[in-house]
Amino acid sequence: MKPHDFRYRQFLPTIILQCMRWYLRYPLSYRNLEEMMEERGVEVDHTTLYRWVQKYSPELEKRIRWHARTFCRSWHLDETYLRVKGKWKYLYRAIDKNGGTIDFMLSSTRNYQAAYIFLKNALKKTRVNERPLKITTDKHPCYAPAIQALKKEKLLKPHVEHRQTRYLNNVIESDHRRIKRRTRPMMEFKSLVSAKRVIKGIEAMNMIVKKQSYFFADSIHDQIYFIHRIFNIYTRTMSKI
């Protein structure tokens, strides 16, 4: 019997998760993945692959957060660019000093309101003892008033240090490459909603690769077992976890 999440699907849950994992992890298009699965004796249309990614990517990100490790209290914030329906959108991202992904948000605007909402959501997703003591950003002028507003709301402590030094933010600039490397073969997204869902999946896979879960994912097999486990798919090989 299939787990509840995969009920009424024509394919096995392991095949669905394998296709989703490959698409989110490696620089592939849906048609590339369709051909790869055909070589393995599985005939699945690229539109079906698209629906799987749209359906299960947000769920993957949601479930991984339940197993996330504690974050360092030194945060780095920055934004990068993605093309959606012919227009540039802004992907706000936050990582800690060790490179662990804290939060992300795809926005149509790059202003005070977007910076404020992003940072507020990131703070709400973390425990009180994980909230930052240092926040490093670039010279973007919208971060400073957003941080001050959150201090007034007591979501940030008054003594939190805000550093606007560009070279100190190299750690997150380098981390953007994980997203850019994956989104480049996609050319561009067709809608903001579908882009948000795919980005959630890509960031979730990056969290697994970065070993941000309490279950160590040292090898590709460990990563597979971990994803199967959080989707309640248990096999004999699951005894490794």
Can you say whether residue 8 is alpha, beta or left, with left for phi > 0 and alpha for psi between -120 and 50 degrees? left
Whether residue 95 sits in one domain with residue 170:
yes
Whether residue 169 sits in one domain with residue 102:
yes
Q: How confident is the model over 30-52, as a mean pLDDT?
A: 94
Burial of 222 (0-12, 13-18, 19+ CB in 10 A): middle
Domain of residue 108 covers 74-181
Instruction: Read off the CATH number of the domain in which 91 is found.
Output: 3.30.420.10
Least confidently predicted of 68-72, 123-127, 192-196, 224-228: 68-72
Whether residue 18 sits in one domain with residue 94:
no
Whether residue 139 sits in one domain with residue 120:
yes
Residue 220 pLDDT exceeds 70: yes
Note whether residue 199 is domain-resident. no
CB-based contacts of 214, cutoff 8 Å, min separation 6: 67, 68, 69
Q: How confident is the model over 209-220, as a mean pLDDT?
A: 76
Q: How confident is the model over 213-218, as a mean pLDDT?
A: 68
pLDDT at residue 104 in the model: 94
Whether residue 49 sits in one domain with residue 80:
no
Whether residue 173 sits in one domain with residue 81:
yes
Whether residue 78 sits in one domain with residue 164:
yes
Whether residue 103 sits in one domain with residue 80:
yes
Give per-residue pLDDT as tens, 171-194: 898 899 889 888 887 777 889 999
Residue 67: pLDDT band (50, 70, 90) is confident
- The pTM of the full predicted model, rounded to 2 decimals, is 0.89
Q: How confident is the model over 220-228, as a mean pLDDT?
A: 88
pLDDT at residue 105 in the model: 95
More confident residue, 213 or 161: 161
Note whether residue 189 is domain-resident. no
Whether residue 79 sits in one domain with residue 63:
no
Note whether residue 100 is domain-resident. yes
Whether residue 62 sits in one domain with residue 91:
no
More confident residue, 71 or 16: 16
Q: How confident is the model over 158-166, as a mean pLDDT?
A: 89
Residue 166: pLDDT band (50, 70, 90) is confident
pLDDT at residue 238 in the model: 44
The last residue of one of the domains, among 143, 164, 181, is 181
Query: What tokens were used for 223?
Result: 């990563």
Whether residue 164 sits in one domain with residue 106:
yes
